[in-house]
Structure 1
Amino acid sequence: MIGSSLVPAPIAALPWKLIFLVLAIGLFGGMTLFSAAGGSLSPWALNHFVRFVALLAVAIVLSYFQPRTFRDWAYPAYGLIIVLLIVVELIGVVGGGAQSWLDLGVFQLQPSELMKPVIVLILAGFYAGLPTGEIRKWSAIWPPALLTIVPSVMILLQPDLGTTLLLLFSALTVMFLAGLPLRLFIGGGLAVAAMIPIVYTFFMMPHQQKRVLIFLNPEDDPLGAGYHITQSKIAIGSGGLFGKGYLNGTQSHLHYLPEQHTDFIFPAMVEEWGLMGGLFLILCFALLFRWGMTVALESKDRFERLAAAGLTMTIFFYFAINLLMVMGLAPVVGIPLPLFSYGGSAMLTVMLCLGMLMSIDRNNRRERHRL
């Protein structure tokens, strides 16, 4: 009665549990950026809030599209992003040691970020249209592999190892859920392990090589390659159970903690909010992932099921790799904390994923009402 009499039906039909989770994460991130800037809306917090509101609106608009529309748009979007990756290689802007951005005047766009949801849609559509009997044949492997390898190599040449890894993980998730034989993933894992020396030697910048070598023991070079992880651990550990208090972080305010507004925003937050703040954020993300996987499980259409699972896992990989990275459990590869860190391209990617997930959820509910 409340939804039908006081609130317009299209508004009432939105997945408000998800929206409230997204709002909690985004607002908490903005508060942390405000503190990291010494209690100022500039240069990060205000831009973060504006982007967050605008891109959340985009996600809500996307939720009103039919999931089949995303399937139809996937290949044109893939071709456009490949063209943009070529343009980046020719005239791209260098930042963080990688030539990954296009300067569009008003803002800088990172095309490689947009490839993550697109590759999920491409592969989900491919396997949805593949006859069940073909799933164990070579024809089920080489087209998705080629579609994934081409942009991965282009992104790795920028060089952007973090984005390349996320793209590969998202693609492998869809391929695994589609039912490809487990032996292929084991063999692929062994092949990747064999290629690590080649990637390390020929595709990684010197500062990236140092990060890989130092992450197991950052204390060997605490003022050099291990500085990021050392300061991150100090910030996390000094937060204790309840933190030092909002606006009272020392590692961030005294600029000991590098990249406190992007990749290392989680330590900046935990220093002020402590273990309880960190657990609250992790809980919000866990509930978001649970919602996304529920959408996948409830989907009757094969494309929608694979796409929902792949899009959810794309956001999960952002989250998991960032936390492993700032805790010293993985090399520093430049992955932001989704919806929480400062940055437009990553937030755009995550909001696109959420918008398409909401579209699939809306379609699921529509199908249930028809029964």
Structure 2
Amino acid sequence: MNNNSGIVEALKRYDFTFFGISFAIFLVGVVNLYSATHSSANDYFADLYTVQIGWYVFSTIVGVVVSFIQPKNFFRYAWLFYVLNIILLVLVLFTGHVGMGARRWIVLGPIRLQPSELMKITSILLLARWFTKNDPDQEMGLKQLIVPFILAMVPTLLIVVEPDLGTGLLILLIFFVIAFYRKLKWKSIVILAILGVLSGGMMYKFGLKEYQRKRILTFINPSADAKGSGYNAIQSKIAIGSGRFLGKGFKKSSQASLNYLPENHTDFVFSIFNEEHGFFGSLFLISLYLILFYRFIWLAQSVTKIYDSIVAIGVMSIFFWHTFVNMGMVMGLMPIVGLPLPLMSYGGSSLLTFGICCGIATSISNSRNLF
């Protein structure tokens, strides 16, 4: 009886909301993935939704296991996780699997691991630890940002070299969100904004490859190369516009069935969803993401430990920037950088990342009720 009552009490304390909202988004995503790929003549693409379900189950199991780890252990082993992840990123550059023109994966039998995905999480755990141990109650100037900026830049540079510009910039965006949340002086914010504009110009001139610069030019004027680099952006906007208010209906996307829009199972899943379900369907999906973001912000405000609060905001920023950038790029509001839409786009490594994120958030939430 005591064991049963202990299990019941544990279930009462367990916060199911993060996995619950994520499951709702995934359910929409896997149905959309089936719709986007069902007409493919290639059996590999036609069966992607079943592979996605398998990855989701595995990711959820991993996430649930993570949820039973005490948050103090994330703090304790943050440096270890970070260093091991850096080693994996270095290994990718020398022994990684090449796909779609980039060296991003480590192949372990049937499993392809993308260390840059896990780096988003390990960077958050370490940055939160550093900010917690260094005057957590004081406003920060530029001097206090030097060390955490270096901690963020090391993996960013390793990831950009792969090349994976989108994920590399995402690490920096996560750093800026955490730094801002941690209380930056307004003077520091203004200086960082100016430095960001100047460094962006320098990176465009000297740091980007030709195809990366072409993406930015295509974003400004897609019609300049409508049959080349601007093709995806134009077809994506056609798909979104043709959905109108109510959409064409399930499995009735012409852009998917006629294969006008490449990568409709990864980067451009939101375009297909818009075409089939229209403006109101997109509002429903965006509402699910907003509920998830709100839940992370609520968690950050409800915990008593500054480390847990920073980690919650960092995890929220992973979901937010993925969603914001992906939706922005398929609507032509941002350059195409190849960031997946959380729990909607096909991809095992990204699902694993989001599963672990939900596990970390659930662990932090559960710990509020232990004492």
Q: How would you bin the TM-score normalised by the shorter chain?
A: over 0.9
SS at match of 2:103: strand
2:311 to 303, 307, 313: 307
The corresponding residue for 1:110 is: 114
Which of 221, 227, 238 aligns to 2:225? It is: 221
Residue number in structure 1 paired with 2:20: 20
Deviation at 1:197, TM superposition (A): 3.4
Contact 1:29–1:340 (Cα < 8 Å) also in 2:
yes
CA distance in 2, matches of 1:113, 1:164: 10
Q: Which residue of 2 aligns with 1:153?
A: 157
Correspondence for 2:53: 49
Shift of 1:365: 2.8
Say if 1:240 and 1:275, in contact at 8 Å, map to a contact too: yes
User: 2:246 is matched by which residue type in structure 1?
Assistant: F
Q: 2:37 matched to 1:37?
A: yes
Structure 1 residue runs of 5 or longer lacking an equivalent are none
Aligned to 1:276: 280
Residues 245 and 133 (structure 1), Cα distance of their counterparts in 2 relative to 1, 3 Å cut: closer
**Which region of structure 1 is more displaced relative to structure 2, 328-337 or 91-100?**
91-100
Contact 1:260 1:268 in 2 (8 A): yes
Match of residue 359, structure 2, among 340, 355, 359: 355
Deviations along 1:143-186, one digit per CA (max 9) or x if unpaired, are 11111111111111112110011100111111111123232232
Partner-residue secondary structure (3-state), 2:341: coil
TM-superposed CA distance for 1:138, in Å, is 6.2
CA distance in 2, matches of 1:256, 1:220: 19
The reply on whether 1:252 has 2:234 as its aligned counterpart is no
Distance 1:96 1:212 in 2: 19
TM-superposed CA distance for 1:317, in Å, is 0.6
2:105 alignment partner, SS class: strand
Structure 2 counterparts to residues 1-371 of structure 1, below 5 A: 8-38=8-38, 42-132=46-136, 135-136=139-140, 140-366=144-370, 370=371
CA contact (8 A) 1:159 1:204 kept: no
How far residue 16 of structure 1 moved from its aligned partner, in angstroms, is 2.9
Amino acid paired to 1:351? G
CA distance in 2, matches of 1:267, 1:74: 37
User: For residue 335 of structure 2, what is the amino acid of its counterpart?
Assistant: P
My pick for the range that moved more, 116-125 or 37-46, is 37-46
CA distance in 2, matches of 1:308, 1:343: 24
Contact 1:27 / 1:49 at 8 angstroms: preserved in 2? Answer: no
Percent identity over the alignment is: 36
User: Contact 1:159–1:203 at 8 Å: present in 2 too?
Assistant: no
Q: Which letter maps to 1:79? A: V
Per-residue CA deviations over 1:316-346 (Å, capped at 9, x if unaligned) read 1111110011100000001000111001111
Contact 2:95 2:106 (C-alpha < 8 Å) held by counterparts: yes
CA RMSD, Structure 1 to Structure 2 (Å) = 1.9
Task: Point out the more displaced range, 113-122 or 178-187.
Answer: 178-187
Once the two structures are superposed, what CA deviation does each residue of 1:287-325 show, in whole Å capped at 9, x if it has no partner? 001011100000110101111111111211111110011
CA drift of 1:200 comes to 2.2
User: Secondary structure of 1:248's match?
Assistant: coil
Q: What is the identity, as a one-letter code, of the residue corresponding to 2:199?
A: M
Do the aligned partners of 1:78 and 1:115 also contact (CA within 8 Å) in 2?
Answer: yes
81 and 365 in structure 1: CA distance in 2 versus 1, 3 angstrom threshold? same
Please report how far the alpha carbon of residue 105 of structure 1 lies from its aligned counterpart in structure 2 after TM superposition.
2.1
Change (3 A) 1:134 1:103: same
Q: Which region of structure 1 is more displaced relative to structure 2, 204-213 or 72-81? A: 204-213
**Structure 2 alignment gaps of length 5 or more:** none
TM-score by length of 2: 0.93
Q: Distance in 1 between matches of 2:99 and 2:368?
A: 41
